[in-house]
Amino acid sequence: MSSLMNQFKATANAHMRQEMERGNWVCQCEACHAIRSLVGLDKMLAVRPLVRELHQAEQRLAELPAGPERRNYLEQYLRLHDQLADELAK
């Protein structure tokens, strides 16, 4: 299986280099599709903990009364949003 993945990577890298010169990587061959899918899966796995943490922070914010503790927690919540945006931009 690793031999097949190595072939996919080599093929996809070659196609990506060729197509990126024209502006974007749109090749739909099996190798390019597989590599793009793996990159998407890696990104999804990277952001999943942040999404879970944001959801929990959102619930906690709803429970906190107005005041300094809520403002501090809101700042932390907004930093999590920034981290998520950074991960998605990678």
- pLDDT of res. 75: 94
- pLDDT of res. 10: 87
Average pLDDT over residues 4-17: 83
80-88 contacts at long range (C-beta below 8 A, 24 or more positions apart) = 80/50, 80/53, 80/54, 81/54, 83/50, 84/47, 84/50, 84/51, 84/54, 87/43, 87/46, 87/47, 87/50, 88/43, 88/47
- CA 80 – CA 87 distance, rounded (Å): 11
Average pLDDT over residues 67-76: 93
